Structure 1
Amino acid sequence: MKIAAYEVRRDEQKDFAFIAEKFGVELTETEDNLTLENIDTVNGAEGVTTLGRTRFDRALLTAVQERGVKYISTRTIGADHIDLTAAKELGLKVCNSNYAPNGVADYTVMLILLSLRKYKPALWRAQVNDYSLAGLQGRELRNLTVGILGTGKIGAAVIKNLSGFGCRILASDIRENPSLKGLCTYVDNETLYKACDIISLHMPLLESTRHFVNAETIAKMKDGVTIINCARGELMNIPDMIRGIETQKIGALALDVFDKEDGIYHENRRDDILSNRDMAYLRQFPNVIMTQHMAFYTDAAVQSMVFCGIEGLCDFAKTGHTETELV
């Protein structure tokens, strides 16, 4: 089987070499996105694997299908960059990746603690030899109530991590996760907003969850609420988040993702003019932490993403299906 791999990072190359030999596939690799401009590079490939920068709209899906591609894998959990309806109509099978939730869950707790202990302004001061304490008094997690929106694998792992801190944990989801019995209390969203000092988002990005956190929901939250997002940037209405920070309704904000981050995060843009004004403006607040979509980025997760990306395509070719099939 011939597979064309796109958006291949240097840290993936060793794992790609190992898995290609294990499954006996012919693999071509490039760091470029797959686009209509370089579409002929898929010629002869039965399967294609990419990360999230390649946008599989109907035109690109049609182009790969016309060149003999039958299977597509995304080395990400989310698949909102793929038009699944078009893929199904074209007869293309699509699968996503999978990795343990621990890395993102650990990172989420880290962002909670950094926010509570005001580490960002403390770091700024230390860089100019200012070691004063005024304005840096933090809060202890054991005295607070944490709300988790979404209790799938990652949300559940966050709750299990937090259970050791002694804080009260509330959760909301369309269905309860039985593995969390005794660790949290399920409530409706309205109750969670009113009761929680910290709210962390762990929902998938769907049309029903796009801009889930907005002016209306923020108004229902506690004054000075801390909000954490290691899921998807589009879950938040960014102008409303900015107003929340400016009015101090939001006491702290920690984001590993951002709306319209494509073309910025995971790229070296140090000498470029960036057009995402909201990103530049929000980043400068002392109570806002922003990292470059790296909560997932651990050695174990990268290996799993590569393995799933190739194994899923091989399963399609061998049996016609895979456990992570989306179409």
Structure 2
Amino acid sequence: MKLAVFSSKPYDKRYIEAARSAAAARGAASPAARPASADIDIVFHEFALEEDTVILAKGADAICAFVNDSLSAPVIEALAREGIKAILLRCAGFNHVDLVAAEKAGIMVANVPSYSPEAVAEFAVALIQTLNRKTHRAYNRAREGNFALDGLMGQTLFGKTVGFIGTGKIGVATAKIMKGFGCRILAYDPFPTPAFEGIGEYKGLDEVLAESNIISLHCPLMDSTRRIINEEAIAKMKPGALLINTSRGGLVDTKAVIRALKAQHLGGVALDVYEGEGSLFYDDHSGEIIHDDVLMRLMTFHNVIVTGHQAFFTEEALMEIADCTLRNIDEFVVTGTCKNSLTKDLKLVKRDSLPVRGV
């Protein structure tokens, strides 16, 4: 079997190869249980998957894609023509995949539903701390010999209200940490989880927006959640509230955020994701002119932090992503599907009545 890995960076290759070596070692100890992934032929491509690069999948049986790869209907149809039987995602989110087209083409799509939720949670808290206490500005000042404190005033988090939109594993993990700071925890999710019990209180979206000093987004991007933080939602937020997004960029209307920052209604914004990140994130553009005027305007504000979709980026998370991807391959080779398949119950994943369900 041959696997083509798209949007691969040196760390992707390192961890996938390490996971495969571990699988081979287990197979050596028990040849009868040798997994298919131990012998798979893996080809790594630095290019993102899109219509112009589908040809790189030629000769492969399956492809492995990341968050900013295009898996639109035309791409999936082209993959089917190349004989691709499985699409393996190195992520939990699947908003960039046309699942209807995949099922029609007979291609299985599988994701990595959970990988170190604490990694993203800890990063979200780091953004809250940095934005609130302005340590990013203090760092730059101190390097220039400026140790003045004017302009660096923050707020004590103890006693503040933190609102979560989405209470999946990452949302709950983040809420637990903020609870430890002594914060009051609120959340909105149409599908309450027992894991949130004892941490905080569920309320309606409008109530969460109105009562929270900090709003943290932890829901998937779907038609019903796209730009859930828009002009109307921001108007309901407390003056001076902080907005944190470590989920998906499309949850936020960036232009509405810019207007709220200019009006000084929002106290600050920290984004690890951005709705137009596809052509920018994960690559070095420091020697280029960036033509995204919205992003460039956003980054002119002193109370805005933008990072490059790195919340997941820990050793533990990368290892689990690689391990789970290979487990998905092994199960697919044996059964023709796997437990993490997204196309086994298309009616469920298509439902727009699942508006928030945290990841």
Q: Secondary structure at the match of 1:146?
A: strand
Q: Does 2:71 match 1:52?
A: no
The CA distance in 2 between the partners of 1:201 and 1:38, in whole Å, is 33
Q: Secondary structure at the match of 2:305?
A: strand
Task: Give, as a single letter, the amino acid of the residue that structure 2 aligns with 1:88.
Answer: E
* Paired position in structure 2 for 1:17: 17
Q: Compute the TM-score of the two structures, normalised by the length of structure 2.
A: 0.88
Task: Give, as a single letter, the amino acid of the residue that structure 1 aligns with 2:228.
Answer: F
1:182 Cα deviation (Å)?
A: 1.3
The CA distance in 1 between the partners of 2:134 and 2:3, in whole Å, is 47
Q: Does 2:90 match 1:83?
A: no
Q: Secondary structure at the match of 1:138?
A: coil
The CA distance in 2 between the partners of 1:129 and 1:219, in whole Å, is 39
Q: Paired residue for 2:339, among 315, 323, 326?
A: 323
Contact (CA 8 Å) 1:120, 1:286: kept in 2 or not?
no
1:86 Cα deviation (Å)?
A: 0.5
1:194-242 Cα distance to aligned partner (Å, 9 max, x none): 1111110111100111111111111111111111111111111111100
Q: Does 2:228 match 1:233?
A: no
The CA distance in 1 between the partners of 2:55 and 2:243, in whole Å, is 45
Q: Does 2:229 match 1:220?
A: no
Task: Give, as a single letter, the amino acid of the residue that structure 1 aligns with 2:77.
Answer: T
The CA distance in 2 between the partners of 1:11 and 1:51, in whole Å, is 13
* Paired position in structure 1 for 2:34: none
1:264-290 Cα distance to aligned partner (Å, 9 max, x none): 111111111111111111112111111
Task: Give, as a single letter, the amino acid of the residue that structure 2 aligns with 1:13.
Answer: K
* Paired position in structure 1 for 2:227: 211
1:121 Cα deviation (Å)?
A: 2.7
Q: Paired residue for 1:67, among 82, 87, 92?
A: 82
The CA distance in 1 between the partners of 2:146 and 2:165, in whole Å, is 38
What count of residue pairs does the alignment treat as equivalent?
Answer: 327
User: Does the C-alpha gap of structure 1 residues 36 and 170 become closer, same or farther in structure 2, counting only changes over 3 Å?
Assistant: closer
The CA distance in 2 between the partners of 1:136 and 1:126, in whole Å, is 12
Q: After TM superposition, where is structure 1 displaced by more than 6 Å over at least 4 residues in a row?
A: none
1:120 Cα deviation (Å)?
A: 2.9
1:67 Cα deviation (Å)?
A: 1.8
The CA distance in 1 between the partners of 2:116 and 2:188, in whole Å, is 22
* Paired position in structure 2 for 1:151: 167
Matches within 5 A, 1:247-266: 247-266=263-282
1:66 Cα deviation (Å)?
A: 1.6
1:307 Cα deviation (Å)?
A: 2.1
Q: Secondary structure at the match of 1:163?
A: helix
1:99-122 Cα distance to aligned partner (Å, 9 max, x none): 120110000111111121122332
* Paired position in structure 1 for 2:110: 95
Unaligned runs of 5+ in 1: none
The CA distance in 2 between the partners of 1:119 and 1:38, in whole Å, is 42
Task: Give, as a single letter, the amino acid of the residue that structure 1 aligns with 2:12.
Answer: E
1:46 Cα deviation (Å)?
A: 1.5
Task: Give, as a single letter, the amino acid of the residue that structure 1 aligns with 2:184.
Answer: R
User: Does the C-alpha gap of structure 1 residues 175 and 40 become closer, same or farther in structure 2, counting only changes over 3 Å?
Assistant: closer
Contact (CA 8 Å) 2:19, 2:319: kept in 1 or not?
no
Q: Does 2:160 match 1:141?
A: no
* Paired position in structure 2 for 1:112: 128
Compute the RMSD of aligned alpha carbons: 1.4
* Paired position in structure 1 for 2:261: 245
* Paired position in structure 2 for 1:301: 317
1:255 Cα deviation (Å)?
A: 0.8
